[in-house]
């Protein structure tokens, strides 16, 4: 299947978030920020650490449930057909059927539409973790306490690089059908 144009938009957003995270690192370590002489609230790294754990969980769970609901609500026609590797002739109709999208192009458009919002949410939650690191740097905390937030945020963004198989597989799983060219 040809690459959908929405995939480029998702990749641009992904790259922008990753670059923003590296810019936060540059800001934190450049000396441009003038932090107070000593940290304002010593508990902030602990609180931000707990919030980061919660955000990490939410960045996986919430987008997944939103995507599943959106994919199930998408109006696409599904039909049953024999698998392409089934026997030829009369025995082909006796084989177990598989569910496929009747209009693959329309189904692909719906797959990308239902994936976009959850994808943006997941990388935004991930970037928020890096922002915690920037806030801690601004508040004057040691770099050793700040770096894990940047690493966690950048890693969570990096693992979410959007690919066509990832998007289509998620849509197929949510709908219980496959694209005709798939042989699953």
Q: What is the pLDDT of residues 68-82, one digit of tens each?
A: 999 999 999 888 876
Distance between CA atoms of residues 54 and 129, nearest Å? 10
Q: Is residue 27 part of a domain?
A: yes
Torsion over CA of 15, 21, 27 and 30, rounded to 10 degrees? -80
Is residue 171 very low, low, confident or very high in pLDDT (cuts 50, 70, 90)? very high
Mean pLDDT (the chain, rounded):
89
> What was the pLDDT predicted at 155?
98
**Quick one: 157 exposed, middle or buried, by C-beta within 10 A (0-12, 13-18, 19+)?**
buried
Residues in the chain: 184
Domain that holds residue 92: 5-34+44-175
Tell how strand 98-101 and strand 78-81 pair up: antiparallel
pLDDT over threshold 70, residue 86: no
Secondary structure class of 179 (helix, strand, coil): coil
Q: Is residue 140 part of a domain?
A: yes
Compute the average pLDDT of residues 20-41: 84
Q: Is residue 102 part of a domain?
A: yes
Q: Is residue 39 part of a domain?
A: no
Q: Is residue 180 part of a domain?
A: no
Is residue 183 very low, low, confident or very high in pLDDT (cuts 50, 70, 90)? very low
Q: Is residue 132 part of a domain?
A: yes
Compute the average pLDDT of residues 100-112: 92
Q: Is residue 117 part of a domain?
A: yes
| Residue, of 35 and 43, whose pLDDT is higher | 43
Please name which of 183, 174, 181 lies closest in space to residue 74, comparing C-alpha atoms: 174
Is residue 39 very low, low, confident or very high in pLDDT (cuts 50, 70, 90)? low
> How many structural domains does the chain have?
1
Cβ-based neighbours of 105, under 8 Å, separated by 6 or more: none
Is residue 88 very low, low, confident or very high in pLDDT (cuts 50, 70, 90)? low
Q: Is residue 183 part of a domain?
A: no
């Amino acid at each position: 299947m040809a690459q959908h144009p929405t995939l480029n938009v998702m990749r641009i957003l992904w790259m922008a978030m990753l670059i923003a995270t590296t810019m936060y690192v540059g800001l934190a370590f450049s000396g441009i920020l003038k932090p107070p002489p000593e940290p304002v609230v010593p508990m902030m790294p602990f609180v931000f650490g707990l919030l980061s754990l919660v955000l990490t969980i939410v960045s996986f769970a919430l987008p997944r449930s939103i995507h599943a609901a959106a994919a199930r609500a998408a109006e696409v026609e599904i039909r049953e057909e024999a698998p392409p590797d089934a026997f030829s002739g009369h025995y082909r109709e006796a084989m177990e059927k598989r569910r496929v999208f009747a209009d693959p192009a329309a189904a692909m458009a719906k797959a990308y539409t239902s994936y976009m919002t959850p994808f943006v949410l997941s990388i935004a939650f991930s970037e928020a973790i890096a922002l915690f690191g920037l806030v801690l740097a601004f508040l004057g905390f040691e770099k050793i306490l700040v770096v894990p937030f940047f690493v966690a945020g950048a890693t969570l963004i990096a693992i979410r690089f959007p690919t066509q198989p990832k998007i289509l597989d998620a849509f197929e799983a949510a709908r219980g059908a496959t694209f005709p060219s798939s042989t699953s």
